[in-house]
Amino acid sequence: MSLHATIDRVTDRIRERSASTRAAYLAKIARAAEDGPRRAHLSCGNQAHAYAAMPDKADLAGTRKPNIGIVTAYNDMLSAHQPYEHYPDLIRRAAHAAGATAQVAGGVPAMCDGVTQGRAGMELSLFSRDVIALATGVAMSHDTFDAAVYLGICDKIVPGLIIGAATFGHVPAVFVPSGPMPSGLPNDEKAKVRQQFAAGEIGRDKLMAAEMASYHAPGTCTFYGTANTNQMLMEFMGLHLPGASFVNPGTPLREALTFEAVRRAAAITALGNSYLPAGEILDERAFVNGIVGLMATGGSTNLVIHLPAMARAAGVLLDLQDFHDLSETVPLMARVYPNGLADVNHFHAAGGLGFMIRELLAAGLLHEDVRTITGGDLNDYAREPRLRDGRIDWVDGATTTLNDKVLRPATTPFAATGGLAQLDGNLGVSVIKISAVAPERHVIEAPARVFSDQEAVKTAFRNGELNGDVVVVVRFQGPRANGMPELHSLTPILSVLQDRGQKVALVTDGRMSGASGKVPAAIHVTPEAASGGPIARLQDGDILRLDVPSGRLECLTEGFETRPAAHFDSSASSEGMGRELFRAFRENVTPASEGASVVV
């Protein structure tokens, strides 16, 4: 199938926009690779330090065996990352079996947004992505690795690791997932309990029981939030092994996939004949494929921030119009909570990413001719792994959906367009996730209630102040103000208002999580209020209009543009929970539309 005209046009636009930055990037990684494996150029003293604790130090010092660096985001507070505890031993065994060696190069931080939602610690969350990139740089700076395997899954971790891997783009990179936890309490039932608690209908004991039944085991949370969107991206962008994303932890297939990932890392170093540097995989076609996957699955709004930052690290320049145009072209093929009732285990069982990639390739909506860690093109990712006699065998994946309530063909999708849209107007530019929003709520016009923090919204709700149609504005939540926290803790109370029959919307320069659901929310408003953006001029009672069909976000009250902007008081968010350490980040961060980054 020939490439769809819009996919071709957007890719060409990105390629032209990125011509000079991409050329400079490729020249940089070529210079880094031209001397061959850098380990050979270390002094004897340098090498002795690097190998001192290794039982097979003679292999490292005296042979040309590949040495694989492990960059790990392991901790045992994140359920998704707890399985990584024993991966280094597994990776070392797999490396030895492949005629290589492996060392843990370094660890990177991995915070849990589920723990910090609505708390001061959430104000460090987005910036943790850049800290992860910096920590990856420190790990890789020892310059002793012929390839790297990256262990990370959740919200900021994969984007941070990608930025680091792209910076060391001359080094081959393989990303290794650990998989989702088994299905627990259905996500829609959990959401119902949260709303009942927010409305005062049940006590905290029942809320806690529901939460514990939902988040109950090692593995990634099963809703289709940012963590699972990240896993989809790694497969669509050719950095996972095919079919690896959603295999549960602790299974023989999961272990075999990890062994195979290490074997591939050893095979694609510059010491052999299949050298495949990470920077060559991460081109404009790979990022377009990733955005197509984001739209087709109804993925997390957080990736609208992360993908531009990830791409910039590889010399590729994305903008919001690219996301908008691709969303207008790519059909929504999946219904996974919060866009439906199923979880990612149900999605995987219905045919999963292999079926989706097969369908999108057949429709001309993906670049087929990309480089991937398999050594082949994207057709490899329409296949799925089977375990035979302890070894991985890839077979053709599903050619028809096994559950059309969860996964549909590109020709008969759930919606003709993707899950995200761009809004602009006299309030600035924003994005909205519409895949879970009912069509009758795609236009909301109502008076504004303006708040400067999410706790004030919760107080107004408890006091019965949000009784009519309302557009809740939460400003001074952008990256320069307080690090751009997620405001997902507002979802239950806004859902209660909507279920009462009120017209409700959210407008904010902050973020919602990948669990953004049925309440229309114009997020990432740029320019943000702390930079004097128009959202800083809003007052209670202003009439706001959020209009998805026309792509507009506007204040209809005359004269609002000439008002003075409200002043940002940073005293409440500048100290405590480590926030004082990130002052330099807040002062130097780029706008959300450019990736909200301080390192790229």
- In this structure, are residues 22 and 284 in contact, taking their beta carbons and an 8 Å threshold? yes
Q: What are 35's two structure tokens? A: 């001397």
* 228, 344, 488, 490 from 460: Cα distances, Å: 34, 35, 17, 12
Beta-carbon count within 10 A of 201 CB: 11
- In this structure, are residues 543 and 556 in contact, taking their beta carbons and an 8 Å threshold? yes
Element (H, E) at 552: strand 552-555
User: Annotation-wise, does 555 bind a ligand?
Assistant: no
CA distance 508 to 494: 14
CA neighbor of 169 nearest in space, from 18, 311, 29: 29
Beta-carbon count within 10 A of 75 CB: 15
- In this structure, are residues 322 and 294 in contact, taking their beta carbons and an 8 Å threshold? no
Beta-carbon count within 10 A of 497 CB: 21
CA distance 288 to 11: 7
CA distance 133 to 161: 6
- In this structure, are residues 6 and 326 in contact, taking their beta carbons and an 8 Å threshold? yes
| Residue keyed to tokens 């932890």 | 249
Which residues sit opposite 429 in a β-bridge?
424, 526
CA distance 333 to 408: 5
Q: What are 499's two structure tokens? A: 């279920």
CA distance 285 to 11: 7
CA distance 362 to 356: 10
DSSP 3-state assignment of 186?
A: coil
Which residues sit opposite 415 in a β-bridge?
332
Which residues sit opposite 66 in a β-bridge?
none
DSSP 3-state assignment of 387?
A: strand
Amino acid sitting at position 463: N
CA distance 116 to 106: 25
User: Annotation-wise, does 112 bind a ligand?
Assistant: no
CA distance 313 to 316: 7
Interior angle at CA 223, CA 552 and CA 155, nearest 5: 75
CA neighbor of 235 nearest in space, from 87, 70, 382, 339: 382
CA neighbor of 318 nearest in space, from 56, 28, 30, 590: 590
Amino acid sitting at position 420: L
Detail the residues annotated as belonging to a binding site.
154, 221
Detail the residues annotated as belonging to a binding site for [4Fe-4S] cluster.
154, 221
